[in-house]
Amino acid sequence: MAANVDNTVRELVYEFLDDLRESDNAPNMFGATLDLQEEFGFDRPMAKELLSDWMAQYGKDNNDE
């Protein structure tokens, strides 16, 4: 399902999640599904899948350093 998301939108979502994670009021990122729903209008399954994709990518990026 998230594979159907345009790369530009995916980049915006990942940037939003990066900013959210780095903010002073950073939530537990497992709860960011609701933030994605509110910010981008995704339904819950799409928001969960994008969050999961971001978490997997975030782990890869940080393991490379």
The answer to whether 43 touches 37, Cβ cutoff 8 Å, is yes
The answer to whether 37 touches 47, Cβ cutoff 8 Å, is yes
Question: What residues does each domain of the chain span?
Answer: 2-21+29-60
Tell me if the pTM is above 0.85: no
Compute the Cα dihedral for 45, 50, 54, 56 and give only its sign.
positive
- Confidence band for 64, pLDDT divided at 50, 70 and 90: low
pLDDT for 3-46, tens place per residue?
A: 788 999 999 999 999 999 998 877 788 889 999 999 999 999 99
Which single residue is written with the structure tokens 């995704």? 42
